[in-house]
Homo-oligomer: A and B are copies of this chain.
Amino acid sequence: MTEHLKIKVDAGVMEITWNRPDKKNALTNDMYRGAAEALEKASADKSIRVVLLTSEGDSFTAGNDLSVFAAANAGTSNEAPQGNRWITTISKFDKPLVAGVRGVAIGVGMTMLLHCDLVYVANDAKLSVPFVNLALVPEAASSILLPQRIGYARAFAMFALGEPITGAQAQHDGIANVCLPADEVIPAAREAAKKLAQRPLGALMATKALMRPPQVMLDQIKTESVYFADRLRSAEAAEAFAAFREKRKPDFSKV
Q: Which residues of B contact A195 (CB under 8 A)?
A: 161
- Count of A residues near B, CB < 8 Å? 67
- Does A143 make an interface contact (CB < 8 A)? yes
B96 to A132, Cβ gap below 8 A? no
- Does A9 make an interface contact (CB < 8 A)? no
Q: What is the bound-complex CA distance between A245 and B151, given in angstroms?
A: 39
Q: A: which residues have CB within 8 A of B?
A: 12, 96, 114, 116-119, 131-132, 134-138, 143-145, 147-157, 159-161, 173-177, 195-196, 198-204, 206-212, 220, 223-224, 227, 230-231, 234, 236-237, 239-240, 250, 252-253, 255
Extra contacts, 12 of them, besides A119-B153, A132-B204, A209-B227 (Cβ < 8 A), are A137-B203, A148-B148, A148-B151, A151-B174, A161-B196, A198-B252, A200-B237, A200-B252, A200-B255, A201-B236, A202-B236, A210-B220
